[in-house]
Structure 1
Amino acid sequence: MEQEKIFATPEEPSFTAVLKNWDFRNLDYMLQDWLVYLKIQSKMPPSGRLWKNTLPFLAIPESVVELIFLISEKLEQPPEVRYLTVELFDRFIMRHFTTLHENVFKKPGVKNFKMWSKVVSRVQNQVLLRVMSCIQLSSKFVTHYQVLSPKTIRQFLVEAGHSFTITSIIASEMRVFKTLDFKVPLSSPLVHFETLLTILIKDFEAWKGKTYEAEILEPVYGLGLQILDIAFMSHHELYSSLFCMATGEIGPIGDQRIKFLGVECDNLFLVAGVISCAADLLYHQENDLAARVLIHLSSTTGIPKKDIYGLASILKKLSLGQLL
């Protein structure tokens, strides 16, 4: 499906292409400031992800995440759009579903269950539309080159066998945005990933004792994105395994889940594990380079080395089965 593009806008530059044009002497100050901000975010309590009695990540099983990734790729959206869409859809659908449930059952009555059955059916029929609205919103916050218009969204939905009108598509986008209280997360895991990787690349020259070339660590970026995709699609398995590794128990469940939520929502910890895993897969034969990457990540983030290593080892196990 061919997407509409804004007249005379250039293609967005790649990660390494941007780095080639930066003077690292000036970039260093910006990176340190941005890293401080990301560290503060990672330490903040995850209360922003709790809404009434709902918990995050319950509405995004692997099938939903995979659907979002496939649609984003088909619509030629940059990687950050798919990660942001997953978070927006998770936040929206939990709030939307809870609000509808409260409205139906605010008064006791037998008829409520029949009404609720109809509401659930309607929500199910609108899932793809809501996913598309979240992708559309994400595209507006991530890139002005590839913003998705209602016409593009409608064309995709028609090809998928749905006959939503332009008006209903616009109304759905507004419904999603309003349900989210018109708030969108400022930084996705990709921002954390690119920040940490840029710092890693900046220090690469000192490790190798040779002139810096952006291409040297380009494989870490490409493989890291694949591992980050796997982390999103295997979220529940990843963090259940991490919980078991840390406590020796199966879970987390009940109150344990709420206490563990800070770990699940820590994007800095996640991407540190992703980069460490990518380095281990790529440089396991190059002396102690992968170990140096791990030490550097721990030093930069303040996260204990054993914690990053533990997360990276689980990611490696998940990735080997899917990357082969």
Structure 2
Amino acid sequence: MNIIKFRQASFDLLTDFLVNINKENKDTLDSLSKCSGCFKNANVMEYIFHITRALDLDPQVGYHATELLQRFMTTHLTKQLTIPSPQGASGIQPISVEDSVLDSLKTKFPDIVFSCVQLASKMSLHVNVIDNNTAIRFLHSLGYTATKKTLLDSELLVLKGLDYKLAVTNPLIYVEILLEVLVHNEPSIPIERTYGLCQQVLQFVVLERATIFDSLLMVTIRSKQPTTEQRELFVTVTEDCMLLGVSVIAVALYIFHISQWEKVVGELSNITGISRRSIIDFAHVTLLHIVDSSSL
């Protein structure tokens, strides 16, 4: 398990980290597709988290795998759905191109998800790499048919789909960097304990993503009946990792260090340029869902 060591990075290094993740976040938001976020639903995330727990992988691997999966599936589906049908075939096709592509993915999808986890584990210096024997045993234990060839084919499919670009920043990295910068500015914050709580809050938000963002959308537009256009525009909020990162930290510190909460929210706003109102709204919505879930 990866043990994060805080308070060791210099101010200049922290500044570079912050500039880099801010740029990556903006670039991502500027190039969103209609598929953005579609493969971050609760079932997929539960499956990925189950894999990481069962194979004793660091949580970082799960979040990294999620980003790889989202990017791969977006690229793959976009490519498949824009391939023109063979000339003269349109009149004899029993199903649409979309249905055909989705049907072909049904059997491959568990392998694709696992390949993303496997690739993410290979990118980490702090965890054991999942070898094919372990992978096959695990997939068989879940009732999936898998061979070394199918796993290799799946891994190559993902690698090619991502153009071999596996270095992506995931939400947990945003939390870690923002927390490091925050504690540099506010040394009194008990960072190690706060980080542990941040991990729990982040996982909760990821698993309850749909309901939390639905609630946040209604708070933002002050209406319980968002239009289709409002939902489409709100995708830039659901995919904003910087907003997610500061809000997760705000929730954790509300629970753990409430006496300093307003000061911390102000500092997070200064660090990121995200308004206090946006951070507070996201934090309050998340806290309400945490309370509701704990009372069930």
The match for 2:248 among 264, 267, 274 is 274
**Contact 2:178 2:246 survives alignment (8 Å):** yes
**Contact 2:121 2:128 survives alignment (8 Å):** yes
Report deviation, 1:309: 0.6
Aligned residue in 2 for 1:142 = 124
**Contact 2:265 2:280 survives alignment (8 Å):** yes
Q: CA separation in 1, counterparts of 2:274 and 2:143?
A: 48
Report deviation, 1:323: 5.6
Amino acid at match of 1:298: S
Q: CA separation in 2, counterparts of 1:89 and 1:62?
A: 14
Report deviation, 1:115: 8.5
Q: CA separation in 2, counterparts of 1:227 and 1:59?
A: 20
Over 3 Å counting, the alpha-carbon distance change for 1:30 and 1:102 in structure 2 is: closer
**Contact 1:240 1:251 survives alignment (8 Å):** no
Q: CA separation in 2, counterparts of 1:251 and 1:183?
A: 40
Q: Can you give the 5+ residue segments of structure 1 that lack an aligned partner in the other structure?
A: 1-10, 209-215
Report deviation, 1:105: 4.7
The match for 1:308 among 259, 265, 279 is 279
Identity %: 26
The match for 1:296 among 245, 267, 270 is 267
Over 3 Å counting, the alpha-carbon distance change for 1:103 and 1:40 in structure 2 is: closer
Aligned residue in 2 for 1:73 = 53
Amino acid at match of 1:32: T
Over 3 Å counting, the alpha-carbon distance change for 1:118 and 1:181 in structure 2 is: same
Aligned residue in 2 for 1:4 = none
**Contact 1:42 1:268 survives alignment (8 Å):** yes
Report deviation, 1:251: 6.6
Q: CA separation in 2, counterparts of 1:306 and 1:85?
A: 31
TM-score normalised to structure 2 length: 0.87
Report deviation, 1:48: 3.5
Amino acid at match of 1:170: L
Aligned residue in 2 for 1:204 = 186
Over 3 Å counting, the alpha-carbon distance change for 1:102 and 1:30 in structure 2 is: closer
- Number of residue-to-residue matches in the alignment: 293
Over 3 Å counting, the alpha-carbon distance change for 1:290 and 1:45 in structure 2 is: same
Q: Deviations over 1:112-158 (max 9, x none)?
A: 41897666444222221111111011112233641112222112112
Asked if 1:35 corresponds to 2:30, the answer is: no
Aligned residue in 2 for 1:211 = none
Report deviation, 1:101: 4.4
Amino acid at match of 2:277: K
The match for 2:6 among 7, 19, 22 is 19
Q: CA separation in 1, counterparts of 2:161 and 2:203?
A: 26
TM-score normalised to structure 1 length: 0.80
The match for 2:192 among 212, 218, 226 is 218
Q: Deviations over 1:6-47 (max 9, x none)?
A: xxxxx64x12xx236x2xxx6111111211222223333624
**Contact 1:56 1:90 survives alignment (8 Å):** yes
Question: 136-145 or 307-316, which moves further after superposition?
Answer: 136-145
Report deviation, 1:294: 1.1
Aligned residue in 2 for 1:244 = 218
Aligned residue in 1 for 2:206 = 232
Over 3 Å counting, the alpha-carbon distance change for 1:153 and 1:314 in structure 2 is: same
Asked if 1:151 corresponds to 2:133, the answer is: yes
Give the superposed CA RMSD: 2.6
Report deviation, 1:103: 4.8
What SS is found at the alignment partner of 1:57? Answer: coil
Q: CA separation in 2, counterparts of 1:293 and 1:82?
A: 28
Amino acid at match of 1:229: Q
Over 3 Å counting, the alpha-carbon distance change for 1:38 and 1:98 in structure 2 is: closer
Q: CA separation in 1, counterparts of 2:220 and 2:100?
A: 43
Aligned residue in 2 for 1:213 = none
Q: Can you give the 5+ residue segments of structure 2 that lack an aligned partner in the other structure?
A: none
Report deviation, 1:56: 0.8
Report deviation, 1:249: 3.5
Amino acid at match of 1:91: R
**Contact 1:69 1:82 survives alignment (8 Å):** yes
Aligned residue in 2 for 1:44 = 27
The match for 1:88 among 68, 71, 92 is 68
